[in-house]
Amino acid sequence: MMQQIDMNSPEFKAELEKTWNFVHKVCESKGWVLGPNDDVNEGVAMGLARHRLLYGKRFCPCFMVEPDPDKPGKYRSTDGRICPCKPAIEREIPEDGICHCQIFCTPEYKAQSQNQA
pLDDT band (50, 70, 90) for residue 117: low
Task: Establish how many alpha carbons lie within 13 A of residue 79's alpha carbon, considering only the half-sphere containing its beta carbon.
Answer: 15
pLDDT at 93 (0 to 100): 98
The percent of residues in the chain predicted with pLDDT above 90, rounded, is 85
Contact predicate 80/87, CB 8 Å? no
pTM for the whole structure: 0.91
Q: Which of 76, 109, 99 is nearest to 23 (CA)?
A: 99
> Which CATH number applies to 12-116?
3.90.460.10
Pairing of strands 65-67, 104-105: unpaired
**Which CA distances in Å does 57 have to 38, 60, 107?**
23, 9, 27
- The answer to whether residue 115 scores a pLDDT higher than 60 is yes
- The answer to whether residue 2 scores a pLDDT higher than 60 is no
Could you state, in order of their start, the residue ranges of all structural domains in the chain?
12-116
E strand residue ranges, 12-97: 33-34, 65-67, 75-77
Tens of pLDDT, residue by residue over 41-56, are 999 999 999 999 999 9
pLDDT at 1 (0 to 100): 44
How high does pLDDT run on average in the chain? 93
